[in-house]
Structure 1
Amino acid sequence: MHHARILGTGSYLPARRVTNEELAQRIDTSDEWITARTGIKARHLAAGHEKTSDLAAEAARRALSDAGIAAEQVDLIIVATATPDMQFPSTATIVQQKLGISGCPAFDVQAVCAGFMYALTTAQAYIKSGMAQTALVIGAEIFSRIVDWNDRSTCVLFGDGAGAVVLGRGEEAGIVHSKLHADGRYLDLLKVPAQMADGAVCGTPFLQMDGQGVFKFAVKQLAAVAEEVLAEAGVSAADVDWIVPHQANRRIIEATAKHLGLGMDKVILTVADHANTSAASIPLALDAGIKDGRIRRGQTLLLEGIGGGFAWGAVLLRY
Protein backbone atom coordinates (compact mmCIF):
# COMPACT_ATOMS: atom_id res chain seq x y z
CA MET A 1 0.00 0.00 0.00
CA HIS A 2 1.18 3.50 -0.78
CA HIS A 3 1.32 6.14 1.95
CA ALA A 4 1.05 9.93 1.82
CA ARG A 5 3.58 12.10 3.60
CA ILE A 6 4.28 15.82 3.69
CA LEU A 7 7.28 16.79 1.57
CA GLY A 8 7.07 20.55 1.99
CA THR A 9 4.92 23.44 3.22
CA GLY A 10 4.45 27.06 2.24
CA SER A 11 2.25 30.02 3.09
CA TYR A 12 1.38 33.51 1.95
CA LEU A 13 -0.18 36.46 3.76
CA PRO A 14 -1.15 39.68 1.99
CA ALA A 15 1.07 42.66 2.74
CA ARG A 16 -1.60 44.77 4.42
CA ARG A 17 -1.80 44.05 8.15
CA VAL A 18 -4.77 45.53 10.02
CA THR A 19 -4.60 45.71 13.81
CA ASN A 20 -7.49 45.81 16.25
CA GLU A 21 -6.63 49.43 16.98
CA GLU A 22 -7.07 50.33 13.32
CA LEU A 23 -10.46 48.61 13.23
CA ALA A 24 -11.49 50.51 16.36
CA GLN A 25 -11.12 53.74 14.38
CA ARG A 26 -13.75 52.54 11.90
CA ILE A 27 -16.29 50.60 13.97
CA ASP A 28 -17.52 50.47 17.55
CA THR A 29 -14.98 48.05 19.01
CA SER A 30 -11.67 47.96 20.85
CA ASP A 31 -8.51 45.91 21.08
CA GLU A 32 -9.55 44.79 24.56
CA TRP A 33 -13.00 43.64 23.39
CA ILE A 34 -11.65 41.64 20.43
CA THR A 35 -8.68 40.14 22.28
CA ALA A 36 -10.70 39.03 25.30
CA ARG A 37 -13.29 37.23 23.21
CA THR A 38 -11.16 35.78 20.43
CA GLY A 39 -7.43 36.14 21.07
CA ILE A 40 -7.10 38.01 17.75
CA LYS A 41 -4.75 41.00 17.58
CA ALA A 42 -4.43 41.55 13.81
CA ARG A 43 -5.34 40.17 10.40
CA HIS A 44 -4.02 40.46 6.84
CA LEU A 45 -6.26 41.76 4.04
CA ALA A 46 -5.81 41.15 0.34
CA ALA A 47 -5.11 44.09 -1.93
CA GLY A 48 -7.76 45.10 -4.45
CA HIS A 49 -5.97 43.42 -7.33
CA GLU A 50 -5.30 40.15 -5.46
CA LYS A 51 -7.49 37.12 -6.04
CA THR A 52 -7.74 33.89 -4.09
CA SER A 53 -5.78 32.13 -6.83
CA ASP A 54 -2.94 34.65 -6.44
CA LEU A 55 -2.62 33.88 -2.74
CA ALA A 56 -2.92 30.15 -3.42
CA ALA A 57 -0.34 30.15 -6.21
CA GLU A 58 2.24 31.98 -4.10
CA ALA A 59 1.77 29.61 -1.16
CA ALA A 60 2.07 26.71 -3.61
CA ARG A 61 5.33 28.04 -5.07
CA ARG A 62 6.80 28.28 -1.59
CA ALA A 63 5.67 24.77 -0.69
CA LEU A 64 7.13 23.34 -3.90
CA SER A 65 10.42 25.12 -3.22
CA ASP A 66 10.46 23.80 0.33
CA ALA A 67 9.85 20.26 -0.94
CA GLY A 68 12.41 20.55 -3.71
CA ILE A 69 9.73 19.54 -6.19
CA ALA A 70 9.34 21.03 -9.67
CA ALA A 71 5.84 22.18 -10.62
CA GLU A 72 5.70 19.75 -13.53
CA GLN A 73 6.06 16.83 -11.10
CA VAL A 74 2.67 17.64 -9.53
CA ASP A 75 -0.04 15.28 -10.73
CA LEU A 76 -2.95 16.45 -8.52
CA ILE A 77 -4.05 19.90 -7.34
CA ILE A 78 -6.78 20.43 -4.76
CA VAL A 79 -7.73 23.88 -3.49
CA ALA A 80 -9.91 24.23 -0.42
CA THR A 81 -11.75 27.54 -0.57
CA ALA A 82 -15.11 29.14 0.15
CA THR A 83 -14.08 32.32 -1.69
CA PRO A 84 -13.21 31.22 -5.24
CA ASP A 85 -12.08 33.62 -7.94
CA MET A 86 -15.28 33.09 -9.90
CA GLN A 87 -18.32 30.84 -10.29
CA PHE A 88 -16.26 28.58 -12.57
CA PRO A 89 -13.77 27.33 -13.53
CA SER A 90 -12.40 26.12 -10.23
CA THR A 91 -9.75 28.14 -8.45
CA ALA A 92 -7.57 25.01 -8.65
CA THR A 93 -7.47 25.16 -12.44
CA ILE A 94 -6.57 28.86 -12.29
CA VAL A 95 -3.73 28.02 -9.88
CA GLN A 96 -2.71 25.22 -12.23
CA GLN A 97 -2.42 27.73 -15.08
CA LYS A 98 -0.46 30.21 -12.94
CA LEU A 99 2.01 27.50 -11.96
CA GLY A 100 2.51 26.42 -15.57
CA ILE A 101 1.12 22.93 -14.97
CA SER A 102 -1.18 21.16 -17.41
CA GLY A 103 -2.98 17.87 -17.73
CA CYS A 104 -3.32 16.70 -14.12
CA PRO A 105 -6.62 16.68 -12.19
CA ALA A 106 -7.35 20.00 -10.49
CA PHE A 107 -10.48 20.81 -8.50
CA ASP A 108 -11.82 22.75 -5.53
CA VAL A 109 -13.18 21.43 -2.23
CA GLN A 110 -15.75 23.54 -0.40
CA ALA A 111 -16.11 22.73 3.28
CA VAL A 112 -15.37 26.25 4.54
CA CYS A 113 -13.08 26.17 7.60
CA ALA A 114 -12.89 22.36 7.46
CA GLY A 115 -11.93 22.51 3.79
CA PHE A 116 -8.25 21.80 4.26
CA MET A 117 -9.08 18.63 6.25
CA TYR A 118 -11.33 17.47 3.42
CA ALA A 119 -8.77 18.33 0.74
CA LEU A 120 -5.89 16.68 2.59
CA THR A 121 -7.88 13.49 3.15
CA THR A 122 -8.93 13.42 -0.51
CA ALA A 123 -5.34 13.82 -1.70
CA GLN A 124 -4.28 11.05 0.66
CA ALA A 125 -6.85 8.72 -0.92
CA TYR A 126 -5.51 9.50 -4.39
CA ILE A 127 -1.96 8.69 -3.30
CA LYS A 128 -2.90 5.53 -1.38
CA SER A 129 -4.81 4.21 -4.38
CA GLY A 130 -1.94 4.90 -6.75
CA MET A 131 -3.92 7.51 -8.73
CA ALA A 132 -1.40 10.23 -7.83
CA GLN A 133 2.19 10.42 -6.69
CA THR A 134 2.69 14.11 -5.89
CA ALA A 135 -0.23 16.24 -4.75
CA LEU A 136 -0.47 19.95 -4.10
CA VAL A 137 -3.06 20.70 -1.40
CA ILE A 138 -3.89 24.35 -0.78
CA GLY A 139 -6.19 26.24 1.56
CA ALA A 140 -6.80 29.81 0.37
CA GLU A 141 -9.35 32.45 1.30
CA ILE A 142 -10.24 36.12 0.91
CA PHE A 143 -12.92 36.36 3.58
CA SER A 144 -12.54 40.14 3.82
CA ARG A 145 -14.80 40.37 0.75
CA ILE A 146 -17.72 38.46 2.25
CA VAL A 147 -17.91 40.09 5.69
CA ASP A 148 -19.94 43.19 6.50
CA TRP A 149 -17.38 45.71 7.71
CA ASN A 150 -20.09 47.50 9.69
CA ASP A 151 -20.88 44.36 11.72
CA ARG A 152 -18.41 44.26 14.58
CA SER A 153 -19.56 40.80 15.68
CA THR A 154 -18.19 39.20 12.50
CA CYS A 155 -15.80 41.50 10.64
CA VAL A 156 -13.19 41.50 13.42
CA LEU A 157 -12.89 37.71 13.25
CA PHE A 158 -11.61 37.10 9.74
CA GLY A 159 -8.55 37.62 7.58
CA ASP A 160 -7.09 36.55 4.25
CA GLY A 161 -4.25 34.18 3.42
CA ALA A 162 -3.18 30.88 1.91
CA GLY A 163 -1.24 27.82 3.01
CA ALA A 164 -0.09 24.81 1.00
CA VAL A 165 1.46 21.39 1.44
CA VAL A 166 3.08 19.06 -1.05
CA LEU A 167 2.16 15.43 -0.44
CA GLY A 168 4.26 12.63 -1.85
CA ARG A 169 4.26 8.86 -1.85
CA GLY A 170 6.24 7.20 0.92
CA GLU A 171 6.95 3.74 2.31
CA GLU A 172 5.89 4.71 5.83
CA ALA A 173 2.66 6.39 6.81
CA GLY A 174 2.78 10.15 7.04
CA ILE A 175 -0.96 10.58 7.32
CA VAL A 176 -1.82 7.91 9.86
CA HIS A 177 -5.58 8.31 10.16
CA SER A 178 -8.32 10.81 9.36
CA LYS A 179 -11.99 11.32 10.11
CA LEU A 180 -14.49 13.63 8.42
CA HIS A 181 -18.04 14.54 9.41
CA ALA A 182 -20.82 16.87 8.30
CA ASP A 183 -24.32 17.70 9.50
CA GLY A 184 -26.50 19.95 7.38
CA ARG A 185 -29.05 20.38 10.16
CA TYR A 186 -26.82 23.13 11.54
CA LEU A 187 -26.38 25.11 8.32
CA ASP A 188 -28.09 28.21 9.74
CA LEU A 189 -25.38 28.65 12.37
CA LEU A 190 -22.90 29.91 9.78
CA LYS A 191 -23.67 30.79 6.18
CA VAL A 192 -23.44 33.20 3.26
CA PRO A 193 -26.88 32.66 1.72
CA ALA A 194 -26.41 34.59 -1.55
CA GLN A 195 -26.55 33.12 -5.02
CA MET A 196 -26.37 34.43 -8.58
CA ALA A 197 -29.58 34.56 -10.61
CA ASP A 198 -30.53 36.53 -13.72
CA GLY A 199 -27.28 38.49 -13.60
CA ALA A 200 -27.75 39.71 -10.02
CA VAL A 201 -26.90 38.65 -6.48
CA CYS A 202 -29.94 37.16 -4.78
CA GLY A 203 -29.92 36.97 -1.00
CA THR A 204 -27.44 38.33 1.50
CA PRO A 205 -23.83 38.28 0.18
CA PHE A 206 -22.35 38.74 3.66
CA LEU A 207 -21.39 36.13 6.22
CA GLN A 208 -24.04 35.44 8.84
CA MET A 209 -23.11 33.71 12.09
CA ASP A 210 -24.70 32.66 15.36
CA GLY A 211 -21.58 33.19 17.47
CA GLN A 212 -22.71 31.36 20.60
CA GLY A 213 -24.17 28.50 18.60
CA VAL A 214 -20.97 28.08 16.61
CA PHE A 215 -18.84 28.20 19.76
CA LYS A 216 -20.82 25.48 21.57
CA PHE A 217 -20.99 23.21 18.54
CA ALA A 218 -17.31 23.65 17.69
CA VAL A 219 -16.05 22.88 21.19
CA LYS A 220 -18.15 19.71 21.41
CA GLN A 221 -17.42 18.32 17.96
CA LEU A 222 -13.70 19.16 17.79
CA ALA A 223 -13.13 17.37 21.09
CA ALA A 224 -15.16 14.38 19.89
CA VAL A 225 -13.47 14.03 16.49
CA ALA A 226 -10.02 14.38 18.07
CA GLU A 227 -10.77 11.53 20.47
CA GLU A 228 -12.26 9.48 17.64
CA VAL A 229 -9.18 9.77 15.43
CA LEU A 230 -6.79 9.00 18.28
CA ALA A 231 -8.81 5.98 19.42
CA GLU A 232 -9.11 4.50 15.93
CA ALA A 233 -5.39 5.02 15.31
CA GLY A 234 -4.48 3.43 18.65
CA VAL A 235 -2.67 6.58 19.77
CA SER A 236 -3.07 8.36 23.10
CA ALA A 237 -3.26 12.12 23.50
CA ALA A 238 0.03 11.95 25.38
CA ASP A 239 1.69 10.72 22.16
CA VAL A 240 0.71 13.89 20.29
CA ASP A 241 3.58 16.36 19.99
CA TRP A 242 1.52 19.20 18.52
CA ILE A 243 -2.10 20.09 17.94
CA VAL A 244 -2.43 22.21 14.78
CA PRO A 245 -6.03 23.47 14.97
CA HIS A 246 -8.22 25.65 12.85
CA GLN A 247 -7.45 29.17 14.05
CA ALA A 248 -10.91 30.61 14.72
CA ASN A 249 -11.00 31.54 18.37
CA ARG A 250 -8.45 31.07 21.14
CA ARG A 251 -11.12 29.97 23.61
CA ILE A 252 -12.28 27.15 21.33
CA ILE A 253 -8.68 26.01 20.88
CA GLU A 254 -8.05 26.12 24.63
CA ALA A 255 -11.19 24.09 25.34
CA THR A 256 -10.19 21.39 22.85
CA ALA A 257 -6.65 21.11 24.25
CA LYS A 258 -7.99 20.94 27.81
CA HIS A 259 -10.42 18.18 26.86
CA LEU A 260 -7.49 16.12 25.53
CA GLY A 261 -5.49 16.81 28.69
CA LEU A 262 -2.86 18.79 26.79
CA GLY A 263 -1.47 22.21 27.68
CA MET A 264 -1.34 25.17 25.33
CA ASP A 265 2.41 24.58 25.07
CA LYS A 266 1.43 21.68 22.77
CA VAL A 267 -0.65 23.89 20.46
CA ILE A 268 0.49 25.80 17.38
CA LEU A 269 -1.35 29.08 17.82
CA THR A 270 -1.40 31.77 15.12
CA VAL A 271 -4.89 33.23 15.55
CA ALA A 272 -3.48 36.39 17.16
CA ASP A 273 -1.61 37.31 13.98
CA HIS A 274 -3.81 35.84 11.25
CA ALA A 275 -7.37 35.85 12.67
CA ASN A 276 -9.69 33.27 11.11
CA THR A 277 -8.56 32.54 7.56
CA SER A 278 -11.02 29.67 7.12
CA ALA A 279 -9.56 26.86 4.97
CA ALA A 280 -6.14 28.57 5.01
CA SER A 281 -5.76 28.63 8.78
CA ILE A 282 -4.48 25.09 9.38
CA PRO A 283 -1.83 25.06 6.62
CA LEU A 284 -0.77 28.59 7.69
CA ALA A 285 -0.31 27.39 11.28
CA LEU A 286 1.41 24.20 10.12
CA ASP A 287 3.90 26.13 8.01
CA ALA A 288 4.54 28.60 10.84
CA GLY A 289 5.30 25.77 13.28
CA ILE A 290 7.64 24.05 10.84
CA LYS A 291 9.47 27.17 9.75
CA ASP A 292 10.16 28.37 13.32
CA GLY A 293 11.52 24.95 14.31
CA ARG A 294 8.86 23.84 16.76
CA ILE A 295 7.55 21.08 14.50
CA ARG A 296 10.29 18.62 13.60
CA ARG A 297 10.52 15.49 11.47
CA GLY A 298 9.27 12.39 13.23
CA GLN A 299 6.81 14.23 15.45
CA THR A 300 3.12 13.34 15.72
CA LEU A 301 0.63 16.05 14.79
CA LEU A 302 -3.12 16.30 15.24
CA LEU A 303 -4.79 18.64 12.74
CA GLU A 304 -8.45 19.53 13.25
CA GLY A 305 -10.94 22.00 11.86
CA ILE A 306 -14.63 22.83 11.77
CA GLY A 307 -16.66 25.15 9.57
CA GLY A 308 -19.98 25.98 8.00
CA GLY A 309 -22.11 23.14 6.81
CA PHE A 310 -21.52 22.12 9.50
CA ALA A 311 -18.44 20.20 8.40
CA TRP A 312 -15.54 19.09 10.57
CA GLY A 313 -12.68 16.66 10.71
CA ALA A 314 -9.29 15.68 12.09
CA VAL A 315 -6.10 14.22 10.66
CA LEU A 316 -3.40 12.43 12.63
CA LEU A 317 -0.03 12.47 10.91
CA ARG A 318 3.66 11.89 11.51
CA TYR A 319 5.65 14.71 10.05
Structure 2
Amino acid sequence: MTKYFKFAIIASFFGLWIDSFFKTNFQIYLGFILIFSFGILHGANDLLLIRSINQEKQTNYFYKILIYYILIVIVGALLFYFIPTIALISFIIVSGYHFGEQQWQNLDQLNQWFKFTFQFCYGTFILFLLFYFHQTEVQTVVTEITTIPLNIAIITNGFKILSITLFIFFLYLYIKHIRIRNQLLLEIFYLIVFGIIFFSSSLIWGFAIFFIIWHSIPSMIDQIKFLYQEVTLKSFKLYFKSAFLYWIVSLFGIAILYLLFNDEKIFNALFFSFLASITFPHVLVILKMFNKKL
Protein backbone atom coordinates (compact mmCIF):
# COMPACT_ATOMS: atom_id res chain seq x y z
CA MET A 1 0.00 0.00 0.00
CA THR A 2 3.00 2.29 0.48
CA LYS A 3 3.52 2.44 -3.28
CA TYR A 4 -0.09 3.45 -3.70
CA PHE A 5 0.23 6.36 -1.27
CA LYS A 6 3.20 7.67 -3.23
CA PHE A 7 0.90 7.66 -6.26
CA ALA A 8 -1.85 9.29 -4.14
CA ILE A 9 0.40 12.26 -3.30
CA ILE A 10 1.25 12.78 -6.98
CA ALA A 11 -2.40 12.38 -8.00
CA SER A 12 -3.52 14.85 -5.30
CA PHE A 13 -1.19 17.59 -6.50
CA PHE A 14 -2.20 16.81 -10.08
CA GLY A 15 -5.75 17.49 -8.87
CA LEU A 16 -4.59 20.87 -7.56
CA TRP A 17 -2.95 21.55 -10.92
CA ILE A 18 -6.33 20.90 -12.57
CA ASP A 19 -7.86 23.26 -10.01
CA SER A 20 -5.67 26.11 -11.30
CA PHE A 21 -6.85 25.63 -14.88
CA PHE A 22 -10.60 25.22 -14.55
CA LYS A 23 -13.38 27.28 -13.03
CA THR A 24 -15.22 26.21 -9.89
CA ASN A 25 -18.31 24.96 -11.77
CA PHE A 26 -16.19 22.56 -13.84
CA GLN A 27 -14.45 21.33 -10.67
CA ILE A 28 -17.85 20.67 -9.08
CA TYR A 29 -19.05 18.64 -12.07
CA LEU A 30 -15.77 16.70 -12.27
CA GLY A 31 -15.85 16.13 -8.51
CA PHE A 32 -19.36 14.69 -8.71
CA ILE A 33 -18.33 12.44 -11.62
CA LEU A 34 -15.45 11.03 -9.56
CA ILE A 35 -17.71 10.54 -6.53
CA PHE A 36 -20.35 8.85 -8.71
CA SER A 37 -17.73 6.51 -10.16
CA PHE A 38 -15.07 5.35 -7.69
CA GLY A 39 -16.79 6.87 -4.65
CA ILE A 40 -20.09 5.01 -5.08
CA LEU A 41 -18.35 1.93 -6.51
CA HIS A 42 -16.21 1.41 -3.39
CA GLY A 43 -19.38 0.86 -1.37
CA ALA A 44 -21.25 -1.12 -4.02
CA ASN A 45 -19.88 -4.54 -3.05
CA ASP A 46 -21.19 -4.58 0.49
CA LEU A 47 -23.51 -7.52 -0.15
CA LEU A 48 -20.67 -9.67 -1.50
CA LEU A 49 -18.57 -8.70 1.52
CA ILE A 50 -21.43 -9.71 3.83
CA ARG A 51 -21.64 -13.09 2.12
CA SER A 52 -17.85 -13.59 2.37
CA ILE A 53 -17.68 -12.47 6.00
CA ASN A 54 -20.46 -14.89 6.96
CA GLN A 55 -19.71 -17.67 4.48
CA GLU A 56 -20.03 -20.31 7.17
CA LYS A 57 -23.55 -19.13 7.94
CA GLN A 58 -26.71 -20.44 6.28
CA THR A 59 -28.31 -18.77 3.25
CA ASN A 60 -31.20 -17.55 5.44
CA TYR A 61 -28.67 -15.64 7.55
CA PHE A 62 -27.45 -13.77 4.47
CA TYR A 63 -30.96 -12.70 3.52
CA LYS A 64 -31.62 -11.64 7.09
CA ILE A 65 -28.53 -9.40 7.00
CA LEU A 66 -29.58 -8.13 3.56
CA ILE A 67 -32.95 -7.03 4.98
CA TYR A 68 -31.17 -5.26 7.87
CA TYR A 69 -28.88 -3.54 5.36
CA ILE A 70 -31.80 -2.23 3.31
CA LEU A 71 -33.62 -1.12 6.45
CA ILE A 72 -30.59 0.90 7.59
CA VAL A 73 -30.51 2.69 4.21
CA ILE A 74 -34.25 3.46 4.48
CA VAL A 75 -33.94 4.62 8.09
CA GLY A 76 -31.02 6.88 7.10
CA ALA A 77 -33.08 8.44 4.30
CA LEU A 78 -36.08 8.94 6.63
CA LEU A 79 -33.86 10.56 9.25
CA PHE A 80 -32.67 13.11 6.71
CA TYR A 81 -36.27 13.81 5.73
CA PHE A 82 -37.83 14.12 9.19
CA ILE A 83 -34.97 15.06 11.55
CA PRO A 84 -32.13 16.22 9.27
CA THR A 85 -30.07 17.84 12.05
CA ILE A 86 -29.72 14.56 13.96
CA ALA A 87 -29.10 12.69 10.71
CA LEU A 88 -26.36 15.11 9.63
CA ILE A 89 -24.60 14.93 12.99
CA SER A 90 -24.80 11.11 12.82
CA PHE A 91 -23.37 11.17 9.29
CA ILE A 92 -20.39 13.28 10.39
CA ILE A 93 -19.73 11.01 13.38
CA VAL A 94 -20.00 7.79 11.36
CA SER A 95 -18.00 9.15 8.41
CA GLY A 96 -15.32 10.51 10.75
CA TYR A 97 -14.81 7.09 12.29
CA HIS A 98 -14.91 5.39 8.88
CA PHE A 99 -12.20 7.66 7.41
CA GLY A 100 -10.01 7.18 10.46
CA GLU A 101 -10.52 3.41 10.44
CA GLN A 102 -9.42 3.18 6.80
CA GLN A 103 -6.31 5.27 7.45
CA TRP A 104 -5.35 3.49 10.71
CA GLN A 105 -6.10 -0.22 10.31
CA ASN A 106 -3.01 -1.74 11.93
CA LEU A 107 -3.34 -0.76 15.57
CA ASP A 108 -3.93 -4.21 17.02
CA GLN A 109 -1.59 -3.54 19.95
CA LEU A 110 -3.87 -0.81 21.30
CA ASN A 111 -6.83 -1.13 23.63
CA GLN A 112 -10.02 -1.46 21.55
CA TRP A 113 -11.69 1.63 22.98
CA PHE A 114 -8.52 3.70 22.67
CA LYS A 115 -8.15 2.55 19.06
CA PHE A 116 -11.79 3.40 18.29
CA THR A 117 -11.51 6.86 19.86
CA PHE A 118 -8.26 7.64 18.06
CA GLN A 119 -9.63 6.53 14.67
CA PHE A 120 -12.76 8.61 15.22
CA CYS A 121 -10.74 11.67 16.25
CA TYR A 122 -8.39 11.35 13.27
CA GLY A 123 -11.14 10.95 10.67
CA THR A 124 -13.33 13.68 12.14
CA PHE A 125 -10.33 16.03 12.20
CA ILE A 126 -9.94 15.51 8.43
CA LEU A 127 -13.59 16.47 7.92
CA PHE A 128 -13.26 19.58 10.09
CA LEU A 129 -10.03 20.49 8.32
CA LEU A 130 -12.08 20.56 5.11
CA PHE A 131 -14.91 22.46 6.81
CA TYR A 132 -12.50 25.00 8.32
CA PHE A 133 -11.20 26.11 4.92
CA HIS A 134 -14.71 26.28 3.41
CA GLN A 135 -16.82 27.63 6.24
CA THR A 136 -19.21 29.67 4.08
CA GLU A 137 -19.84 26.80 1.64
CA VAL A 138 -20.37 24.34 4.50
CA GLN A 139 -22.71 26.78 6.21
CA THR A 140 -24.78 27.00 3.02
CA VAL A 141 -25.01 23.21 2.54
CA VAL A 142 -25.85 22.55 6.21
CA THR A 143 -28.54 25.24 6.19
CA GLU A 144 -30.08 23.72 3.03
CA ILE A 145 -30.14 20.26 4.61
CA THR A 146 -31.36 21.20 8.10
CA THR A 147 -33.10 24.57 7.39
CA ILE A 148 -31.28 25.80 10.52
CA PRO A 149 -28.53 28.45 10.09
CA LEU A 150 -25.14 27.05 11.06
CA ASN A 151 -23.07 29.09 13.48
CA ILE A 152 -19.55 29.35 12.02
CA ALA A 153 -18.16 29.15 15.56
CA ILE A 154 -19.17 25.47 15.65
CA ILE A 155 -16.74 24.74 12.81
CA THR A 156 -13.96 26.91 14.25
CA ASN A 157 -14.24 25.61 17.81
CA GLY A 158 -14.68 22.01 16.62
CA PHE A 159 -11.52 22.31 14.55
CA LYS A 160 -9.55 23.72 17.50
CA ILE A 161 -10.75 21.02 19.91
CA LEU A 162 -10.00 18.22 17.46
CA SER A 163 -6.56 19.70 16.69
CA ILE A 164 -5.61 19.70 20.37
CA THR A 165 -7.07 16.23 20.97
CA LEU A 166 -5.29 14.74 17.95
CA PHE A 167 -2.00 16.34 19.02
CA ILE A 168 -2.32 14.69 22.45
CA PHE A 169 -3.08 11.32 20.82
CA PHE A 170 -0.08 11.62 18.50
CA LEU A 171 2.23 12.66 21.33
CA TYR A 172 1.08 9.77 23.54
CA LEU A 173 1.43 7.21 20.74
CA TYR A 174 4.86 8.56 19.74
CA ILE A 175 6.14 8.16 23.31
CA LYS A 176 4.45 4.86 24.20
CA HIS A 177 4.44 2.91 20.92
CA ILE A 178 7.83 2.98 19.19
CA ARG A 179 6.75 0.57 16.44
CA ILE A 180 4.28 3.04 14.91
CA ARG A 181 6.46 6.16 15.15
CA ASN A 182 7.25 6.10 11.43
CA GLN A 183 3.57 5.78 10.59
CA LEU A 184 2.74 8.69 12.90
CA LEU A 185 5.27 10.93 11.14
CA LEU A 186 3.96 9.80 7.76
CA GLU A 187 0.36 10.53 8.76
CA ILE A 188 1.35 14.01 9.94
CA PHE A 189 2.81 14.56 6.47
CA TYR A 190 -0.44 13.31 4.91
CA LEU A 191 -2.44 15.74 7.07
CA ILE A 192 -0.27 18.58 5.77
CA VAL A 193 -1.01 17.38 2.22
CA PHE A 194 -4.74 17.30 3.01
CA GLY A 195 -4.53 20.82 4.41
CA ILE A 196 -2.87 22.11 1.23
CA ILE A 197 -5.52 20.37 -0.91
CA PHE A 198 -8.47 21.69 1.10
CA PHE A 199 -7.05 25.21 1.32
CA SER A 200 -6.33 25.44 -2.40
CA SER A 201 -9.52 23.90 -3.82
CA SER A 202 -13.29 24.29 -3.65
CA LEU A 203 -15.37 22.31 -1.13
CA ILE A 204 -16.57 19.66 -3.59
CA TRP A 205 -13.24 19.34 -5.43
CA GLY A 206 -11.25 19.10 -2.18
CA PHE A 207 -13.66 16.51 -0.82
CA ALA A 208 -13.54 14.55 -4.10
CA ILE A 209 -9.72 14.42 -4.11
CA PHE A 210 -9.62 13.09 -0.55
CA PHE A 211 -12.66 10.83 -0.85
CA ILE A 212 -11.54 9.15 -4.09
CA ILE A 213 -7.73 9.11 -3.91
CA TRP A 214 -7.22 8.70 -0.16
CA HIS A 215 -10.29 6.73 0.88
CA SER A 216 -12.31 5.00 -1.85
CA ILE A 217 -9.48 3.49 -3.91
CA PRO A 218 -7.51 2.25 -0.83
CA SER A 219 -10.79 0.79 0.48
CA MET A 220 -11.38 -0.99 -2.84
CA ILE A 221 -7.84 -2.40 -2.68
CA ASP A 222 -8.50 -3.75 0.84
CA GLN A 223 -11.84 -5.23 -0.25
CA ILE A 224 -10.32 -6.92 -3.31
CA LYS A 225 -7.54 -8.40 -1.13
CA PHE A 226 -10.17 -9.68 1.31
CA LEU A 227 -12.38 -11.18 -1.41
CA TYR A 228 -9.76 -12.50 -3.85
CA GLN A 229 -6.50 -12.54 -1.81
CA GLU A 230 -4.63 -10.45 -4.39
CA VAL A 231 -5.03 -7.23 -6.38
CA THR A 232 -4.80 -7.94 -10.10
CA LEU A 233 -6.65 -6.84 -13.22
CA LYS A 234 -8.62 -10.09 -13.08
CA SER A 235 -9.65 -9.61 -9.43
CA PHE A 236 -10.65 -5.99 -10.13
CA LYS A 237 -12.84 -7.17 -13.03
CA LEU A 238 -14.51 -9.68 -10.71
CA TYR A 239 -15.00 -6.96 -8.10
CA PHE A 240 -16.48 -4.57 -10.66
CA LYS A 241 -18.77 -7.25 -12.10
CA SER A 242 -20.23 -8.14 -8.70
CA ALA A 243 -20.66 -4.45 -7.77
CA PHE A 244 -22.09 -3.34 -11.12
CA LEU A 245 -25.82 -3.79 -10.42
CA TYR A 246 -25.78 -2.04 -7.04
CA TRP A 247 -23.65 0.75 -8.52
CA ILE A 248 -26.09 1.29 -11.40
CA VAL A 249 -29.06 1.33 -9.01
CA SER A 250 -27.30 3.99 -6.90
CA LEU A 251 -26.55 6.12 -9.97
CA PHE A 252 -30.16 5.73 -11.10
CA GLY A 253 -31.35 7.01 -7.71
CA ILE A 254 -29.04 10.02 -7.93
CA ALA A 255 -30.21 10.72 -11.50
CA ILE A 256 -33.83 10.78 -10.32
CA LEU A 257 -32.88 13.25 -7.57
CA TYR A 258 -31.20 15.48 -10.14
CA LEU A 259 -34.19 15.40 -12.50
CA LEU A 260 -36.62 16.17 -9.70
CA PHE A 261 -34.45 18.81 -8.04
CA ASN A 262 -32.13 20.22 -10.70
CA ASP A 263 -31.54 23.39 -8.72
CA GLU A 264 -27.83 23.15 -7.81
CA LYS A 265 -28.22 24.19 -4.17
CA ILE A 266 -31.09 21.79 -3.46
CA PHE A 267 -29.34 18.97 -5.32
CA ASN A 268 -26.12 19.47 -3.32
CA ALA A 269 -28.07 19.05 -0.09
CA LEU A 270 -29.99 16.02 -1.36
CA PHE A 271 -26.82 14.47 -2.75
CA PHE A 272 -25.04 14.57 0.61
CA SER A 273 -28.19 13.19 2.24
CA PHE A 274 -28.25 10.31 -0.25
CA LEU A 275 -24.53 9.69 0.25
CA ALA A 276 -25.05 9.57 4.00
CA SER A 277 -27.92 7.07 3.73
CA ILE A 278 -25.79 4.53 1.87
CA THR A 279 -22.77 5.26 4.09
CA PHE A 280 -24.40 4.07 7.34
CA PRO A 281 -24.62 0.35 6.44
CA HIS A 282 -21.36 0.45 4.46
CA VAL A 283 -19.41 1.49 7.57
CA LEU A 284 -20.80 -1.49 9.51
CA VAL A 285 -19.84 -3.90 6.72
CA ILE A 286 -16.26 -2.57 6.50
CA LEU A 287 -15.93 -2.73 10.29
CA LYS A 288 -16.89 -6.41 10.16
CA MET A 289 -14.45 -6.97 7.29
CA PHE A 290 -11.53 -5.49 9.24
CA ASN A 291 -12.49 -7.54 12.33
CA LYS A 292 -12.61 -10.69 10.17
CA LYS A 293 -9.08 -9.96 8.88
CA LEU A 294 -7.65 -9.77 12.40
The structure whose residues are more often helix, as a share, is 2
Structures share fold, TM-score greater than 0.5: no
The structure whose residues are more often strand, as a share, is 1
TM-score, normalization by structure 2: 0.30
